[in-house]
Structure 1
């Protein structure tokens, strides 16, 4: 009886349902777990951790003081520490604690991370007067504030130095914003204008139209720009003098003093003296800086805004390019082409293109888009700039086109499937009412297939936004000096190189000179890339669902 019931249970297909449900559940759990690990390790980096001061008593060596943030703790076998050359006693527990401490002060110590044995740390304290200084260069400094100086003269020391330092750091950050505005935007606009005049003169010369009047007009315009540059240069000199006016003296845990220009200080804080609300406010401030600032210190410090901007801009341009081409190809294959051997071969080729490795698309993009197409565009439209390439070099346009080429098979297949699901009676009814084939296609069939088109675009965005290998060849770089969108005509500069979140993860994770400092930023950037792709996909899903509800009545 039991055997029959078990056999009937298997025949009912219930085991398949349970196995499928279990597989889906396992995949969801693994995905959530992965995102949780990335989020914890990435977002935890922005919390202002307490500074620990302790005596480090290495057996057989002189004792010294350790000061810094405890980043990681782990249990390791005693034999592993002995094999690393540490003076571990023969007798003792099988496992010992190893701690990674961010000691900062790279300009004094050489390394700003240090592994220590937890059992050798004694007299642990967290004095509230300990100072953490985030610098534009050389990473963090940890120690004690001694005094604040203006033009080399001490103006505050002791307890009075802390509020004075905060006021002057705020002043310096305001000056830094003004300097950035002048150097990146105002001077950038002038340099852009001067280059435009030079290219205009070269173009007139090549065309034989460089008349004395044209030369005089260009010289007048150039003189005006040079006068503006001189005024900005004087302003810059004054700001730099103010920017470098103040300094502070700090002392490390071992008593060595160091004078730091406040112009190099991003922020100074005393984490041990902060309460939970103050730390929470600083935590969100750090996250905002990560999202809105430019990178520094070989991409291991600062923010990643250029990479966010480049990723979103490139993905949007790719979507604008790939959608019409993919839809038109699918419409031709499904609605107009004869369903013969050639059509079947084309469909097989399209399906095979979806499985081609991404790096192959990158090589094709470099060879065809950049060298052939870009070089031809330069010779036809930008001859005055040669031999310096304009479009004959990797840039935003070619990166977007390469991704579009990579994603177009996905759009074609999804759109074809959507067109195939539309009942033939809908087409015949439209034609019976007097509509032409093109009117039926554009007013009836394509609107009903629009959810499938959006599905294809979602899949294309999901694949293309996370690609890295082809982009390394056709336009993405480690650090882009400016954004491709600015106030200079034509405003969107498709020839410029960009940063990308995927390549930024690769660069920070595998090319960074400071691995320990870069590790949390890899997790944070990876989480952000997932969120960016999810945001783009959710936007497309919302549009698809809206279109599906709109045309549901037609389908029924």
Structure 2
């Protein structure tokens, strides 16, 4: 039989065009999301690869020639007319010129560590194996040739060769050994200053507050003063011992230095203690570069930031983000579920209930900065100040809870996301058949028992859906956190070994704010740009992992209580 062809109007009425249109829209959205993630991944993860260092001769028309030692960062094409307007003598036949951003490092020597060069005037490009890159605790990267290594001012190893001869390699080996030794001492110093002395300072502050509390309560007896003084003297004795250990360690770490020749030919002597690591990227094979890459990636995930957050790691920001989201989840879930259960199971369905539902839905659309202002005014200035007056008067005028902190940030975001949990939970409760409730009541269960043992378990996948949506929104919020507790750099984590171990009053770092700070507040924009991409990718991964954990729990609950829905 011959198939009858559909007319255009019949095809439109069948709905097929809308199916194809929706499928195309979804495909375009998926491609755009994947493309964005790939862009972020390439720009961010490429930051940790040990780039080759080039040495070249650079001479612009009408300008003095000089040598340049740098890493290539990126290349762009610019109109030749734009360069002519900048005073560069470009021949008239050129329309477009290739320009490359070079990372020259040595900011303490040259004043800036990036410069643009025009590729056409970059000649005699080489990649000497003895050119090295040194990452420093301050002043960014250092590029140059190693000339000698010293201990206590005496030369241990020296070379004048810029090629990998035996003497040059021996000097490099001595340099690596001195860096390893300095790194071990630096770790000891860091452990003493942040760990041991941090505990002593915490104990001394606790004694001070206890003495102040006794004084305010009129209980500061001579016996109490003597006990506090004895405890304080014990801390003072421990501090003196640690201070002597620090003096010895600083004497050891400052004994080593090295001499480097920069690209302008000048020679500089620098302390080895300022070096984090040094490597010769031009002499590395692929396996060595991969090992270096993963070491740098591990540092990014586990270390603290340095250099105004443009170097080092972001572990405090990861920890703060995850801890805040977990606390927010613990707070928002019971409140959202209780509110949804009341609205669906107990409240009389009428005009007032419908108004409440409309208000809840509208709350989900309120800008997050409004919640931040509310958290600042109500939680911090009102509740926090009241808590300080009632429970921490000895610490005043320094606020304890009357300032931004982890607790107020978590509560503010819980308030921001509670409408999402309410709506999702209500939807789940509404899908449970009425005969399930009636069957449970008919078997002799009370309404509360039916709710607890039957209704909530069946609605748990919907509850977890609401939690997933809440986590996805809260983890990426930045605006309210800027008002209620997040900071650029937190000296310590809100979870440590000092009682009460979890410090809810403490300020914390957050990945979202870290991206904003590095991307828009950094004094060195070019150096910070790769870290913005890397941190953005990490934030996406953290949110995905948190959501994946919630989805796994939801699927488990759905399978567990599937029989109740039959």
Shorter-chain TM-score category?
A: over 0.9
Work out the CA distance in 1 between the residues paired with 2:525 and 2:552: 40
Equivalent residue of 2:94, what SS? coil
Q: Does 1:117 align with 2:124?
A: no
Aligned to 2:267: 257
Of the structure 1 ranges 150-159 and 534-543, higher mean CA displacement relative to structure 2 is found in 150-159
Aligned to 1:137: 138
Work out the CA distance in 2 between the residues paired with 1:513 and 1:526: 19
Aligned to 1:238: 248
Aligned to 1:30: 32
Work out the CA distance in 2 between the residues paired with 1:342 and 1:69: 67
Structure 1 residue 79, shift from structure 2 partner: 1.1
Aligned to 2:82: 80
Q: Does 1:8 align with 2:10?
A: yes
Structure 1 residue 85, shift from structure 2 partner: 2.4
Aligned to 2:165: none
- Listed one character per residue, the Cα deviations across residues 156-179 of structure 1 (whole Å, up to 9, x for unaligned) are 112221000101111111111111
Aligned to 1:107: 108
Structure 1 residue 343, shift from structure 2 partner: 0.8
Aligned to 2:302: 292
- Listed one character per residue, the Cα deviations across residues 403-454 of structure 1 (whole Å, up to 9, x for unaligned) are 0000000000000000000001000000000000000000000000000000
Equivalent residue of 2:149, what SS? strand
Structure 1 residue 129, shift from structure 2 partner: 0.7
Work out the CA distance in 1 between the residues paired with 2:84 and 2:38: 35
Work out the CA distance in 1 between the residues paired with 2:195 and 2:342: 47
Aligned to 2:162: none
TM-score normalised by L of structure 2: 0.97
Of the structure 1 ranges 151-160 and 399-408, higher mean CA displacement relative to structure 2 is found in 151-160
Equivalent residue of 1:146, what SS? strand
Aligned to 1:149: 150
Give the alignment partner of residue 186 of structure 1, picking from 178, 191, 196. 196
Aligned to 1:346: 356
Aligned to 2:424: 414
Give the alignment partner of residue 372 of structure 1, picking from 382, 391, 395. 382
Q: Does 1:523 align with 2:533?
A: yes
Work out the CA distance in 2 between the residues paired with 1:33 and 1:550: 37
Work out the CA distance in 1 between the residues paired with 2:103 and 2:543: 33
Structure 1 residue 279, shift from structure 2 partner: 0.5
Q: Does 1:163 align with 2:173?
A: yes
- Listed one character per residue, the Cα deviations across residues 199-252 of structure 1 (whole Å, up to 9, x for unaligned) are 111111111111111111111111111111111111111111111110100001
Work out the CA distance in 2 between the residues paired with 1:82 and 1:304: 43
Work out the CA distance in 1 between the residues paired with 2:384 and 2:91: 67
Equivalent residue of 2:397, what SS? coil
Work out the CA distance in 2 between the residues paired with 1:36 and 1:77: 29
Structure 1 residue 84, shift from structure 2 partner: 2.5
Give the alignment partner of residue 505 of structure 2, picking from 495, 516, 529. 495
Structure 1 residue 2, shift from structure 2 partner: 8.0
Structure 1 residue 4, shift from structure 2 partner: 3.8
Work out the CA distance in 2 between the residues paired with 1:4 and 1:239: 87
Q: Give the root-mean-square deviation of aligned CA atoms.
A: 1.0
Give the alignment partner of residue 54 of structure 1, picking from 52, 56, 63. 56
Where does structure 1 lack aligned partners over 5 or more consecutive residues? none
Give the alignment partner of residue 64 of structure 1, picking from 40, 60, 66. 66
Give the alignment partner of residue 514 of structure 2, picking from 504, 507, 513. 504
Count, aligned residues: 555
Equivalent residue of 1:277, what SS? helix
Work out the CA distance in 2 between the residues paired with 1:548 and 1:80: 63
Equivalent residue of 1:489, what SS? coil
Q: Does 1:228 align with 2:238?
A: yes
Work out the CA distance in 2 between the residues paired with 1:57 and 1:226: 62
Work out the CA distance in 2 between the residues paired with 1:497 and 1:85: 50
Work out the CA distance in 1 between the residues paired with 2:528 and 2:298: 18
Aligned to 1:432: 442
Q: Does 1:359 align with 2:369?
A: yes
Q: Does 1:400 align with 2:401?
A: no
Structure 1 residue 61, shift from structure 2 partner: 1.4
Work out the CA distance in 2 between the residues paired with 1:276 and 1:306: 31
Structure 1 residue 80, shift from structure 2 partner: 1.8
Equivalent residue of 1:434, what SS? coil
Equivalent residue of 1:393, what SS? coil
Work out the CA distance in 2 between the residues paired with 1:4 and 1:503: 57
Aligned to 1:215: 225
Equivalent residue of 2:476, what SS? coil
Structure 1 residue 101, shift from structure 2 partner: 0.3
Equivalent residue of 1:465, what SS? helix
- Listed one character per residue, the Cα deviations across residues 30-80 of structure 1 (whole Å, up to 9, x for unaligned) are 000000000000000110000011100111111100110000011122112
TM-score normalised by L of structure 1: 0.99
Work out the CA distance in 2 between the residues paired with 1:284 and 1:155: 32
Structure 1 residue 3, shift from structure 2 partner: 7.2
Equivalent residue of 1:249, what SS? strand
Question: Which 4+ residue blocks in structure 1 deviate beyond 4 angstroms?
Answer: none
Q: Does 1:271 align with 2:281?
A: yes
Work out the CA distance in 2 between the residues paired with 1:425 and 1:185: 61
Work out the CA distance in 2 between the residues paired with 1:46 and 1:509: 18
Q: Does 1:484 align with 2:484?
A: no
Structure 1 residue 8, shift from structure 2 partner: 2.8
Equivalent residue of 2:508, what SS? coil
Aligned to 1:387: 397
Aligned to 2:129: 128
Equivalent residue of 2:502, what SS? coil
Equivalent residue of 2:64, what SS? coil
